[in-house]
Amino acid sequence: MSEKHNQGGGECPWKSVGAIVHRGNDTSFVLLIHRAKYPVSWAPPAGHLDEVGPSELEDPKDAVMRELSEEVGLYVSRPDDSQLVLKDLLENRCRRENPQSGARYDSHQWWVYRFTVPENFQPTLQRDEATDWRWANRDEIQRLIRQNALDPAWAEIFTRFDTRIFGE
């Protein structure tokens, strides 16, 4: 293996946000989209923080609101701290490369927030962002993980934070 390979990409400087979207008061289902971009797979709405100035990143709360509007046409009010499901550094590969090593970044600082939408909510998908959507419960998430059809970062999130997301 080359030295370049061994080095790895390190932590992605753009970081990541994600949204757990529940249907009504029922926390047993979450909204998934089929991503049109890398990694092409099922995942909750998510993305990088935008750069809002020289070496200044978007606030994670602004970023998750923007991703929800861009990916599923959902406009939510600004989340508060009670909606934070997790903040953690997770191992997951990025489509972007570390210019130093040439390797793709392999971890991200994540913020995941929880939202609730009415039962009859219908996502509006942007074709370049997502090609399909569905509600999935815990069993369906586990099945997608076994089929390698869930974004690997979210496979880890749903495995490690299962009860925090779905309840006991």
Q: Based on the shown chain and the rule CB under 5 A, indicate whether residue 46 belongs to the binding site for Zn ion.
A: no
Look at residues 104, 133, 97 and name the one whose alpha carbon lies nearest to residue 19: 133
Binding mask 94-123 for Zn ion (x = CB under 5 A): x----------x------------------
Choices 23-31, 67-75, 89-97, 147-155; region in contact with Zn ion by CB under 5 A:
89-97
Please say which residue, 107 or 115, places its beta carbon nearer to Zn ion: 107
- Lookup: tokens for 124: 């509006």
Say how many C-beta atoms besides its own lie within 10 A of residue 64's C-beta.
28
Please say which residue, 107 or 136, places its beta carbon nearer to Zn ion: 107
Rounded to whole angstroms, the maximal C-alpha distance in the chain is: 52
Smallest distance from Zn ion to CB 29, Å = 28
Choices 27-35, 77-85, 93-101, 150-158; region in contact with Zn ion by CB under 5 A:
93-101
By CB under 5 A, the count of residues binding Zn ion is 3
Q: Based on the shown chain and the rule CB under 5 A, indicate whether residue 12 belongs to the binding site for Zn ion.
A: yes
Q: Based on the shown chain and the rule CB under 5 A, indicate whether residue 150 belongs to the binding site for Zn ion.
A: no
Amino acid type, 98: N
CB-based contact 20:112 (threshold 8 Å): yes
3-state secondary structure of 82: helix
3-state secondary structure of 163: helix
Please say which residue, 85 or 90, places its beta carbon nearer to Zn ion: 90
- Please, which residues have CB within 8 angstroms of residue 134's CB and are 6 or more apart in sequence? 31, 32, 42
Q: Which residues bind Zn ion (CB under 5 A)?
A: 12, 94, 105
